[in-house]
Structure 1
Amino acid sequence: MGRKHNNQLPENLPQLQNLIKRDPQSYYEEFMQQYQHLQNTIKVFYFSPQAPNKTLEDLMMFMAQIAHCYPKELKTFPEQVGSILQKYSTILDSNTRMTLCKALVLLRNKNLISPTDILELFFNLLKCQDRPLRKFLENHLITDIKNLNAKHKNDKLNTTLQNYMYMVLGGDTKAAKIALDIMVELYKKNIWNDARTVNVIGKVGCFSKNTKILVGSLKFFLGKDPEEESENSDSENEIDPKEVMMANKVNKKTRKREKQLTKAKKLAAKAYKKKSAAPSFNFSALHLIHDPQGMAEKLFQQLEMTNKRFEVKLMTLDVISRLIGLHNLFLFNFYPYILRFLQPHQREVTRMLQFCAQASHEQLPPDVLEPVLRKMADNFVTERNTSDVIAIGLNAMKEVCARCPLAMTEDLMRTLVDFKTHRERSVIMAARSLIQLFRNIRPEILHKKERGKPTEAMDEIESLNYGKIEAKNYVPGAEVLIEDQKPQEDSASESGSDSEGGWVDVQHSDDETLGDMEEDSDDEEDNEDNSDSEYDAVAEGIEEQQTQEGSRKSQENEENKECIADKNTSSVAKLPKQKKKEVDLKEKKELAHKITLERILTDEDFKRIDAANVRKQMQSAKRGIKRKLEEKPAEKASELVKLSDIENIYKKRKHDKLARIESVRKGQIDREKFGYQDRRANEFCSKTNREKKKKKNFQMMRHKARGKTKRSFKDKQVALRNHLLKLKKMK
């Protein structure tokens, strides 16, 4: 059927292209005719390559579309297109250049040309002053490399491409910036997420003279967590699912409540997924640096010598502080440098405080961080500043001490503790959080009244010393698993637990136990002999306990007499309690070590261990006294310091006029317009005379306004009758 229009095919390339793809052999002559036409057009093109050539563009795209149909005849076609682009890249017309690049991309997608053959050409074309072309080539390179590594990673090809990109990255051209963007995008897509890519960006990009490449590399290492924005947006429109479900059960069923219920269920499912998801690091690239100490020193040296903008300096400080905190580096010159920025009036001062906290770690000598804490106390935590400044200073000092507790001195701590009685609530809460931190890590630095009620967890806290490494050969809290293995009957007999779950001490309730046994004997009338025998056994046991207590008391009296004879009575009297604590802790460690070696711990076991460790935080150190579990223990300091932790101020912000107006405007978005609303089914139908009267000019209706004085006799009768009827109804 296609041969009937054979005379029109040379001029209709799309139709010929469609026919060739269906049956290449039947239209071989037409193809050769077009191929010869292309060669002649290229010869003419060489005379004026800068002029636009629509015929050449159409023929190039035509050949690229059907190249797979005639692979032998078009074997040299990709080289021909590439030579034109390489020779006349800067003087070609923009449309012609874009068309030739699209033709090469088509050939690459059909696997008629290798990726390494066009890579060098495309990077040379990135130097052209043509933004759409650069964007097109960048997207193609990213997509092509992604498709090459879709099924499995092609390490050989990736190494070849990476080597060439690293060479391009060293230059100060636009191609270097696009090469950096390509590598960053491929890292985010988990294609080139190896240590080699990260280290090249760190070595070449972070020390480039080109500001754009430098900023792009620093932003790569300061990659933000994509979940933060979603969490903030979800928190604004947060709905409690339990309240909505209860309201839906009780109240009348409406469409609005059904929508709220479905939305609440979705939010609850989303929150559950976030909690159950594995934790993701938002700056994992810094973990892959081979030489973090050398990189931090070079960045700091570059920072001291640079005269770039303040924003670039902030980014450099952020990267240095993260490197120091992550890899526990020693860069002592960093802290005196940042001290000059710790002023309340300093621009971006909260970020400077954040960098100080990020650059703190346990292996840092306390003498290095003491001036930083002292500077924060002198410039922020003083009565001459506002409450917000004091609270921010206390929060920053808390974050520093959470990572390096030995930096806090006892004198400075006493000064900071006094702010718990400040008049502003924000300062009080910040001071209390600092006190709570040291209760869990260094309670000895606090005054006795500030340490709080002693708990079992406090007994297990060991004193911190610089350079001390706490390497445990057991799982802390694993001794609770041995207690769970004991049978319930033994635990009930040993502890004397009653039916309500309370704790009863048998030794201190002799009369009560006798009374209970007498009641049991009265209730069981059929087994009087058994009850009498039990009664006798209990009585004998009580007598034995009393004799044992008498002998124990006599021994204690003898020991007390010997202690009184000694001069240091107070220290010796305290000695047995301390020994008892040490023995208990030693036994717990031995039990935990034993259970860790003898069995494989499951998830349920770890849950019990975590619950027991939390219980220790709340349970009093005195035996037999238990407190309700109300709060969680202090969490371990994270690797990255959040700016919100430093700027966290416990008080309700006062809204100014602009904020109130903005909140009012937000409430008016979905609300119906106030005033008269035309509720007619057909808005184009006619209106009544009363409705028309409201829109007329008053001068036109003036003569009708005096209608009451000129009423007819009939109107007066009707009005009087209505008035009398109304009075009658009121009676």
Structure 2
Amino acid sequence: MGRGVLLTSNLPQLQNLIKRDPPAYKEEFLQQWNHYNSIRQIFQINPDENAQHFRELVSFMAQVAQCYPKETSELPTQISALLLESYGSLSPDTRKSLVQTLVMLRNKDVITSITLLQTLFPLLPRTTSSTLRAFIRRTILSDIRTANLRSKNHKLNRAVQAMLFGMIERGMDGEVVGDKGKLRAAVGSSTASSNGEEAMWAVVLTKELWRKGIWNDAKTVSIIALGCFHPVAKVQSASLHFFLGSDEEKEDSDDEEDELPNVKALQHRQNINKKTRSGAKMMQKTVKSVKMKRKKRAEAENTNFPAIQLLNDPQTFGEKLYDMLNKYDKRYSLDHKILIMQLLSRVMGGHRLCVLGFYTYIMKYLTYHQLRIPAILVALAQSVHEFTPPDALTPVVRKIAQEFVHPGVGSEVIAAGINSIREVCRRQPWAMEEELLGDLVDYRKSRDKAVTAAARGILQLFREVNPGMLKRRERGKEAAMGMASGSQPLPFGHSAEAAVDIEGLTVRHFSRGFALLEDHLEKLRDEDGAAPEGEEDDAAAWEGWDVETDSEEESSDDSDSDLEISDSEDEGGGKKKKDKGKGKRKAAEAAEGDEADDDKPEGAMEEAVKRISTMATTKILTPADFALLNDLRIKAATDAVERGGGNAAKRKLATLESQKKSLLASSDGNLAATFISENDILGPRKKAKADYAERMASIEKGREGREKFASMKGKKNKAAPSSSTNREKARNKPLMMILASGAVRGKKKASLREKQQKLRAHINRAKKAHH
């Protein structure tokens, strides 16, 4: 009797004993279980009664649930139902305790991750406590990250993605409110799904999982793409920022957004302290780490290229964006409409889409006094590609010229107009009219540097793409020679020849005609006597490049197929080594220039075909191979520039370097050249003259920390602040300023008696001061 009373009143002691010997204390546990059920029923009727005791019982049951799984099988369901059904009537302490209890049950493997997340997801938009909301968010992210740590947990991912889809879809049938002026709430929008809180949390969590690299498949992108069409503007904005690579809200991160160390301060400290080898190594390691983190942060601010590439049915996605932009033009603010324009233009440019209504819509914004006009011009230029019909672009180019390029506007406006026309024509040269081009080229004689640079840029562009539209004296030497030889630009929609190879693999390459990748690999084999690093393991070559999808789980049993996906290793290496000298000699003979192709020996052409077939037609190149090929192309382009290849070689090198820096998942790198910035439109600008407000702000900044119209000299290092005396000022005067003063001249003319009197007075003063 005494034992039962003691254990009933001391739950921690009973918990300790049960964990040591569950069968021996089963009777006491059942007694507490019945007591828990009674208290739970009372608590459901009146949550304020016995709340503290109920929390203690729930915590006790969760601690010993794994000892009696059969008896406590209903415990997680009861806690989950209590949270979901009576969340509004529970006290903050009770809510936090019940959530922590569910997390404890998950950590003890009493419940699955899906069961836990099915309860936590609906709580996020309902909770008002910032600490509890942050705890739930961390729990969700850490649980999904742990489940996908070793390999992709496709079952859990599919279940969670279905929940996130549902959170967004539940509010899709609401009325589009917009964000112009004050954000107006829809009538009767008291629920979380109607005001967008539930969908907002789904978008935020999905973005965080993508940013941390836990999810990187097409389904994740589809969730955010659905959020782009949500009726609540803030959900749209968060989804649009995801694809644009920028975040209006910076989420708190516990591992990646920490402050970077001050490298200059560390280097200064190292110079002062004792020099050691270990200290130098640590300094090098720190500098390398800081550079890597800064690079990742810079890349995170760029456009999310992989997400744009993983869009499902981009044509439909782009058409929906345009319909939403056109239909709700009066409800959205200008900033929100520019976000939609930017995403639509990048999808159009990246996937080569044609949404022709967009050009008609954007024409009403093409005025020089329009707010944020550089961003609008950037969106226009990014939407153009080689498959855009010139008939749709010609009115747009004409409108830009009429609004921006005329004597009645400033030089910056003219430069922006010419630069925007140049970017449009760079992607679709047939949109330009010959008469208009002549007028734009004439601006190269302007006195303004930005206008001159813009006009020269469009002149150089048409010297390359279509010199026939220029006047004879403006074509330049190379363009004139090309036209004399009979070369003409292809009309819209025409292609010179079908793609049969990859640049850098064939002998018809500007780098002395050699197959870059193949020769590089053969050179490594000859030097090392073995396969180059990265060729031994096919899986290692694809590591970090492939995108996980659900199809991997389904096709895992068919991995041993007849098709062998090899890395850069050449299966026909023996035969190539045998003919290596002959191949290089004939390739060198064939590398004298494309214009001499007709004079090439027949054997050289056969060798070229043979070299193409061995690499481009029998291999599946990995992304690592394409990265290596891009580096080789950059090296070859650099050599061409050093040998005096001219402007064409310099532009080729700049294009290759920009492609290398871009965050592209594809290997061809064409998507990087599609996107531009506002600086490309504005061009080089000189510093504008400061207005009155800016000058006054600079003056006030210089007066900080000092009294008004007063000098601080002589007041800083004194116990009693005071100005310097006239005698102190006289001591510090330059000699040339006092040579002609009365005091100096008087000393020179003083008699011997006057000098004796001054000396005696000085001695007396010294004696008095000494005593």
Q: 2:81 aligns with which of 77, 80, 83?
A: 83
Aligned residue for 1:39? 37
Cα pair 2:241 2:247 within 8 Å, conserved: no
- In 2, distance between residues paired with 1:180 and 1:607? 37
- In 2, distance between residues paired with 1:466 and 1:628? 23
| SS of corresponding position for 2:88 | coil
> Do the aligned partners of residues 341 and 145 (structure 1) sit closer, same or farther apart at CA in structure 2, a change above 3 Å counting?
same
- In 2, distance between residues paired with 1:670 and 1:21? 67
TM-aligned CA deviation for residue 385 of structure 1 = 0.7
The Cα offsets for residues 650-679 of structure 1, whole Å up to 9 and x where unpaired, read as: 3234445665677789999999x9656877
Aligned residue for 1:183? 206
- In 2, distance between residues paired with 1:632 and 1:343? 34
The Cα offsets for residues 445-479 of structure 1, whole Å up to 9 and x where unpaired, read as: 33344344439996997623211224454544257
Between 1:646-655 and 1:455-464, the stretch displaced more is 455-464
Aligned residue for 1:282? 304
- In 2, distance between residues paired with 1:390 and 1:35? 81
- In 2, distance between residues paired with 1:438 and 1:262? 53
Aligned residue for 1:98? 96
Letter aligned with residue 596 of structure 2: D
Aligned residue for 1:719? 762
Aligned residue for 1:167? 166
> Do the aligned partners of residues 632 and 365 (structure 1) sit closer, same or farther apart at CA in structure 2, a change above 3 Å counting?
closer
Q: 2:349 aligns with which of 320, 325, 328?
A: 325
Aligned residue for 2:495? 469
Cα pair 2:206 2:223 within 8 Å, conserved: no
Q: 1:206 aligns with which of 196, 218, 228?
A: 228
- Does residue 641 in structure 1 map to residue 663 in structure 2? no
TM-aligned CA deviation for residue 388 of structure 1 = 1.0
> Do the aligned partners of residues 721 and 97 (structure 1) sit closer, same or farther apart at CA in structure 2, a change above 3 Å counting?
closer
Cα pair 1:406 1:464 within 8 Å, conserved: no
The Cα offsets for residues 47-92 of structure 1, whole Å up to 9 and x where unpaired, read as: 3135571221222223323433443443332122223234423322
Letter aligned with residue 227 of structure 2: G
Aligned residue for 1:376? 400
Q: 2:112 aligns with which of 111, 114, 125?
A: 114
Letter aligned with residue 57 of structure 1: R
- Does residue 53 in structure 1 map to residue 51 in structure 2? yes
> Do the aligned partners of residues 32 and 456 (structure 1) sit closer, same or farther apart at CA in structure 2, a change above 3 Å counting?
farther
Between 1:281-290 and 1:323-332, the stretch displaced more is 281-290
- In 2, distance between residues paired with 1:178 and 1:157? 19
Aligned residue for 2:369? 345
The Cα offsets for residues 140-168 of structure 1, whole Å up to 9 and x where unpaired, read as: 32322222111111212322332233223
> Do the aligned partners of residues 55 and 269 (structure 1) sit closer, same or farther apart at CA in structure 2, a change above 3 Å counting?
closer
Aligned positions, number: 578
Equivalent positions of 1:159-308 (< 5 A) are 159-172=158-171, 173=193, 174-202=197-225, 204-224=226-246, 282-306=304-328, 307-308=330-331
- In 1, distance between residues paired with 2:368 and 2:289? 43
> Do the aligned partners of residues 472 and 80 (structure 1) sit closer, same or farther apart at CA in structure 2, a change above 3 Å counting?
closer
TM-aligned CA deviation for residue 433 of structure 1 = 2.2
- In 2, distance between residues paired with 1:432 and 1:375? 21
| SS of corresponding position for 2:430 | helix
- In 2, distance between residues paired with 1:664 and 1:162? 57
Aligned residue for 1:480? 512
TM-aligned CA deviation for residue 398 of structure 1 = 1.8
> Do the aligned partners of residues 156 and 465 (structure 1) sit closer, same or farther apart at CA in structure 2, a change above 3 Å counting?
same
- In 1, distance between residues paired with 2:123 and 2:47? 16
Aligned identity (percent) is: 33
When the two structures are superposed, what TM-score results if normalisation uses the length of structure 2?
A: 0.62
- In 2, distance between residues paired with 1:653 and 1:585? 54
- In 2, distance between residues paired with 1:633 and 1:456? 24
TM-aligned CA deviation for residue 217 of structure 1 = 2.6
> Do the aligned partners of residues 220 and 630 (structure 1) sit closer, same or farther apart at CA in structure 2, a change above 3 Å counting?
closer
Q: 2:596 aligns with which of 584, 588, 595?
A: 584
The Cα offsets for residues 495-552 of structure 1, whole Å up to 9 and x where unpaired, read as: xxxxxxxxxxxxxxxxxxxxxxxxxxxxxxxxxxxxxxxxxxxxxxxxxxxxxxxxxx
List gaps (5 residues or longer) in structure 1.
227-233, 246-252, 485-579, 680-689, 696-712, 724-731
The Cα offsets for residues 565-599 of structure 1, whole Å up to 9 and x where unpaired, read as: xxxxxxxxxxxxxxx99852545799688446427
- In 1, distance between residues paired with 2:721 and 2:446? 68
- In 1, distance between residues paired with 2:109 and 2:288? 47
- In 1, distance between residues paired with 2:655 and 2:48? 68
Cα pair 2:463 2:479 within 8 Å, conserved: no
TM-aligned CA deviation for residue 215 of structure 1 = 2.6
Q: 1:309 aligns with which of 325, 332, 342?
A: 332
TM-aligned CA deviation for residue 422 of structure 1 = 0.7
Letter aligned with residue 412 of structure 1: L
Cα pair 1:478 1:596 within 8 Å, conserved: no
| SS of corresponding position for 1:635 | helix
- In 2, distance between residues paired with 1:117 and 1:15? 30
- In 2, distance between residues paired with 1:127 and 1:269? 38
Aligned residue for 1:564? none
| SS of corresponding position for 1:378 | helix
The Cα offsets for residues 330-374 of structure 1, whole Å up to 9 and x where unpaired, read as: 222111110010001112211111111011000112121111111
> Do the aligned partners of residues 421 and 593 (structure 1) sit closer, same or farther apart at CA in structure 2, a change above 3 Å counting?
farther
> Do the aligned partners of residues 376 and 693 (structure 1) sit closer, same or farther apart at CA in structure 2, a change above 3 Å counting?
closer
- Does residue 395 in structure 1 map to residue 413 in structure 2? no
List gaps (5 residues or longer) in structure 2.
172-192, 249-258, 517-591, 617-624, 657-671, 724-755, 767-771
Letter aligned with residue 108 of structure 2: K
Cα pair 1:168 1:176 within 8 Å, conserved: yes
Cα pair 2:322 2:344 within 8 Å, conserved: yes
TM-aligned CA deviation for residue 407 of structure 1 = 1.5
Cα pair 1:419 1:431 within 8 Å, conserved: yes
Cα pair 2:637 2:649 within 8 Å, conserved: no
- In 2, distance between residues paired with 1:652 and 1:260? 42
> Do the aligned partners of residues 339 and 90 (structure 1) sit closer, same or farther apart at CA in structure 2, a change above 3 Å counting?
same
> Do the aligned partners of residues 141 and 691 (structure 1) sit closer, same or farther apart at CA in structure 2, a change above 3 Å counting?
closer
Between 1:469-478 and 1:415-424, the stretch displaced more is 469-478
- In 2, distance between residues paired with 1:269 and 1:587? 55
Equivalent positions of 1:628-667 (< 5 A) are 635=655, 638-656=673-691
Between 1:162-171 and 1:590-599, the stretch displaced more is 590-599
- In 2, distance between residues paired with 1:78 and 1:45? 17
| SS of corresponding position for 1:340 | helix
> Do the aligned partners of residues 81 and 655 (structure 1) sit closer, same or farther apart at CA in structure 2, a change above 3 Å counting?
same
- Does residue 428 in structure 1 map to residue 452 in structure 2? yes
Cα pair 2:243 2:304 within 8 Å, conserved: no
Cα pair 1:373 1:397 within 8 Å, conserved: yes
The Cα offsets for residues 670-725 of structure 1, whole Å up to 9 and x where unpaired, read as: 99x9656877xxxxxxxxxx955959xxxxxxxxxxxxxxxxx99973516999xx
- In 2, distance between residues paired with 1:197 and 1:61? 36
Aligned residue for 1:139? 138
